A and B are shown apart, each in its own frame.
Chain A
Amino acid sequence: MTDTVIQVRDLVKVYSLGEVEVQALRSVSLLIGRGEFVAIMGASGSGKSTFMNILGFLDRPTSGQYLLEGMSGEKLSMDELAEIRNRKIGFVFQGFNLLSRTSALENVELPLVYAGAPTSKRKEMAQMALAEVNLKGREHHHPSQLSGGEQQRVAIARALVNQPSIILADEPTGNLDSKTSVEIMGVFQRLNGEKGITIIMITHEPDIAAFAKRNILFKDGRIVDDHPNSTPTAAVPGGGVR
């Protein structure tokens, strides 16, 4: 874990809602190395979502520094940020955010479309990503024909398909029952363990955070706790807790 992927120093984000200024982040500093599996916890309004948006280059900090693999997004245009998101970041959302009326395969292909990959290569890579999350054979199902857990796995496959540096998961189990949640955590643990993919996950459920190797707690726009989890809960493939 010598290789630093994320380097954050004195990050501040201020929203101005009319006359009122809201300090969403007040000086956050953090280092995340390659291959980590980090859970970020905190009550709503603690600034964790704002932090995730900045990590995902969807938002810009008011001040402070954020480097993804040593690269800053500070001076980049929206289009250049889109390219970085496309190449280096995979997103997994609470509400899955799949395109309805579009097959699982095409959903997974989406980042590759914007990367400009040729059709045949897109198909091949998307199929591989779907196999990675055990959805082989369901490529042509539409989201409405899949269960919540399956939809989230399609979303994970979409996040994986461009072989990103990090996966950002915003409450990935928020819409799932506990059994399916464990299943999703199993997928994350396997990707993290076998492939060494860096995963940063927001959750407000302590038992979900327990699957991660490091837990960070946000409160009022600051990090108040940051400790490694030496004994993460192990998810047995196919559900259940060992």
Chain B
Amino acid sequence: MTRLFASLRIALRALMVNKMRSALTMLGIIIGVSAVIAMIAVGSGAKKRIAEQIASMGSNLLIVMSGSSTSGGLRFGMGTVPTLTVEDAKAIQVEIPGVKYVAPNLGGVAQVIFGNQNWSTIVNGTTPEVLDIREWPLASGRSFTQQDVDGAAKVCLVGKTVAENLFGGSDPTGQIIRIKNVPFTVLGVLAPKGQSTWGQDQDDIIFVPLRTAQKRLFGMQFPGMVKQIAVQAREPELMKDVENQINDLLRQRHRIQPAQDNDFTVRNLTEVMASAEQSANVMSLLLGAIASISLIVGGIGIMNIMLVSVTERTREIGIRIAVGAKGNDILLQFLIESLVLSLIGGIMGIGVGVVGTIVLAAFTQWPTLFSMQAILLAFLFSGSVGVFFGFYPARKASLLNPIEALRYE
């Protein structure tokens, strides 16, 4: 123990002798460690944002879209012909056990007027379950009910963006707005959700009861039809089963022959999100790898300086060996020296990395996230860089021939 302490003191003194050199060598490690910290923070910030967006979409979500139509050999895009009905939605709810909530919807863009303000937004006719599926609470007021849907009540819920544009600061609850010139009573305001993964403003929306939308707003051409059915599975593991069962059920209900294409499409949103998350993972891995390279370059700097130091201090090593230092004593002395260099560099690098990331986040508005593990990892990594790159010079020192070392000028 006293020996270790003595070695530590010798190492610190040796580093103090060449302050400038030690500082520059540390700079390599500081840059490397701070880059690793910053990159991990940016990477995990991006991952966290994606995770939040997934949560805001609603978990375990499947979207059934009414499908493409084929007319005289021409195949049209998805949703061109509404093929889904409210009965399809009910059948999915009743017949597939893995389904928790079902919310059919029919919507489109419509002009909305309140007083002398007007605003174009997405109006979605749906059922109250949509708020459960998307885990979307109300900021104020109340939601519409199944009775409102059945009775085609002229009521609505508005998103935050719509509320701001039509009502400014005042409370919209209880006010009458006109959608496509039909008067609707605002029952409540949705809590803000922010942007979706693809940058769409999710708060720019109005929910109305499905029957109302069918009868009053969009249903003239295809009565009883819906555009989409949002389906929430009970468990993430059931997603695949539910998807297959919806396929089978709807093919049967729509009387599609085995050789024919579906007239609907089932989209697994969790899968879409998973791939987004995966690309975020790849990105943070890539950033981390690039940052690690700078740490390795810093390590080479340590090795270089330690080799110079060993050569410079050949005579000192000779003296130490002559008075009884063993190979391991010399090895330890130089190893501790490089370890001290790299660990001090590591600690300073953590400081620079954290401050740098906070500054970066403030300027770029990027989401960043520090984790204790990442900081600890960077610290340990810098230490192992010190040991790894310090070992060769230290070993070289420990193997010096004392006679030649003492003669060294």
Question: Which residues from chain A sit less than 8 Å from chain B, CB to CB?
Answer: 53, 56, 58-59, 78-79, 82-83, 85-87, 91, 93, 97-99, 101-102, 110-111, 113-119, 158, 162
Partner of B2, one of A83, A97, A116: A116
Contact status A119-B2, CB under 8 Å: yes
Partner of A111, one of B324, B326, B328: B324
Residues of A within 8 A of B315 (CB): 97
Contact status A58-B322, CB under 8 Å: yes
Contact status A114-B13, CB under 8 Å: no
Proximity bits, B302-335, A CB within 8 Å = 1, else 0: 0000000000000110111111111111000000
* Alpha-carbon gap, A239 to B406, bound state (A): 30
Residues of A within 8 A of B321 (CB): 82
Residues of A within 8 A of B324 (CB): 82-83, 85-87, 111, 114-115, 162
Interface residues on B, range: 20 to 34
Contact status B403-A91, CB under 8 Å: no
Contact status B403-A110, CB under 8 Å: no
Interface of B is mostly: helix
Give, as a whole number of angstroms, the nearest-CB distance from A122 to chain B: 8
> Is B255 in contact with chain A by the CB < 8 A criterion?
no
Contact status B17-A58, CB under 8 Å: no
Question: Which residues from chain B sit less than 8 Å from chain A, CB to CB?
Answer: 2-3, 6, 13, 17, 315-316, 318-329, 402-403, 406
Give, as a whole number of angstroms, the nearest-CB distance from A103 to chain B: 11
Q: Pick 24 A–B contacts, CB within 8 A, sort by A.
A: A53-B403, A59-B403, A78-B327, A79-B326, A82-B324, A82-B325, A82-B326, A82-B327, A83-B324, A83-B326, A86-B323, A91-B322, A97-B322, A97-B406, A98-B319, A101-B17, A111-B323, A114-B3, A114-B320, A114-B323, A114-B329, A117-B2, A158-B323, A162-B324
Contact status A114-B316, CB under 8 Å: no
Q: Which 9 A-B pairs have the closest CB atoms?
A: A86-B324, A114-B324, A111-B323, A79-B326, A82-B326, A97-B319, A114-B325, A113-B6, A58-B402
Q: A82-B325, A91-B323 are in contact. List 16 more A-B contacts (CB 8 A).
A: A53-B403, A78-B326, A79-B326, A82-B327, A93-B406, A97-B319, A97-B406, A99-B316, A99-B319, A113-B3, A113-B6, A114-B3, A114-B320, A116-B2, A119-B2, A162-B324
Residues of A within 8 A of B327 (CB): 78-79, 82
Task: Considering the complex, give the chain B residue whose CB is closest to the CB of A155.
Answer: B319
Task: Considering the complex, give the chain B residue whose CB is closest to the CB of A98.
Answer: B319
Contact status B326-A114, CB under 8 Å: yes
Contact status A58-B403, CB under 8 Å: yes
Contact status B13-A101, CB under 8 Å: yes
Give, as a whole number of angstroms, the nearest-CB distance from A131 to chain B: 20
Residues of A within 8 A of B328 (CB): 79
Residues of B within 8 A of A86 (CB): 323-324
Residues of B within 8 A of A79 (CB): 326-328
Contact status B323-A110, CB under 8 Å: yes
Task: Considering the complex, give the chain A residue whose CB is closest to the CB of B5.
Answer: A119
* Alpha-carbon gap, A110 to B316, bound state (A): 11
Give, as a whole number of angstroms, the nearest-CB distance from A173 to chain B: 18
Give, as a whole number of angstroms, the nearest-CB distance from A231 to chain B: 34
Give, as a whole number of angstroms, the nearest-CB distance from B2 to chain A: 6
* Alpha-carbon gap, A79 to B402, bound state (A): 12
Residues of B within 8 A of A113 (CB): 3, 6
* Alpha-carbon gap, A58 to B402, bound state (A): 7
Residues of A within 8 A of B403 (CB): 53, 58-59
- Residue from B2, B315, B327 whose CB has the most chain A CB atoms within 10 Å: B2
Residues of B within 8 A of A83 (CB): 324, 326
* Alpha-carbon gap, A59 to B328, bound state (A): 19
Residues of A within 8 A of B2 (CB): 116-119
